[in-house]
Amino acid sequence: MELFLILSLASCAMSVGVVYLPKDMLLSWKFPTPGSVAFELRVPQVLYDEYGYVGLGFKYTDDISGMYYADLINIKFNQPIEDCYGTKNTVPRPDVSLGGTSDLINPRTDVTADGLKITWERAMKTEDCSNDMEFEDGAEYRLLWAAGFMDEVTGEQLRHSTKDRGTINIKLTEDFYNAQYKPFIVSSFN
């Protein structure tokens, strides 16, 4: 009985996809239903204190580089998160400004003891197929990430620097785990 409990707890703990991102960000996901995916992005306090936005994007792994054609999530701090699209290497365009729809379900930002917890869900396949990536359980995607600043006078979103953006390939499964960028602490006695 105890073994059963331990095994089922372990399998529960593992049924979430996880990718550690640079700057100590952590993205995880699960499939609440076969037709939907729920994401959670953790942003550490230092990033929240110093920067003005973070963003994520999805593309196919063989797509051309850059923000072109990326299905973007634009997270300007202290503003509602936006379902966006990358028309070129510049400020993400909200899907609604391109004739599409906002398809983020239950978007929510919580300020936690150690930063921000941003959660949202979406259908694996939305009706807004020109601006939203069609997700498939088990498929590979190129995940884009960035962190940048806002212009304090105009409120505009500024271009991130090249060190503050990058890409990493992920597999959209509930057992995906990539700890390449997991932060670690080395003892000062070493």
Residues 65-84, interacting with ligand HEM (CB under 6 A): 65-67, 72, 74
CB 83: neighbour CB atoms within 10 A?
A: 24
Instruction: Pick the closest to residue 104 from 146, 71, 141, 130 (CA basis).
Output: 71
Q: In what order do the strands lie in the sheet with 177-178?
A: 105-112, 115-123, 36-44, 25-33, 17-21, 177-178
Q: How far is CA 163 from CA 63, 136, 187, in A?
A: 21, 30, 27
Q: Is 146 in the site for ligand HEM (CB under 6 A)?
A: yes
Q: Pick from 56, 104, 124, 170: which binds ligand HEM (CB under 6 A)?
A: 56
Q: Pick from 17, 39, 48, 92: which binds ligand HEM (CB under 6 A)?
A: 92
Shortest CB 87 distance to ligand HEM, Å: 11
Q: Is 159 in the site for ligand HEM (CB under 6 A)?
A: yes
Shortest CB 186 distance to ligand HEM, Å: 29
Toward ligand HEM, which CB reaches closer, 5 or 92?
92
Q: Which ranges of the chain would DSSP assign to H, the alpha helix?
A: 2-14, 45-50
Q: How far is CA 25 from CA 21, 33, 148, 181, in A?
A: 5, 25, 14, 9
Stretch that binds ligand HEM, among 43-51, 131-139, 157-165, 170-178 (CB under 6 A): 157-165
Q: Point out which residues bind ligand HEM (CB under 6 A).
A: 55-57, 65-67, 72, 74, 89-92, 144-146, 148, 157-160, 162, 165-167
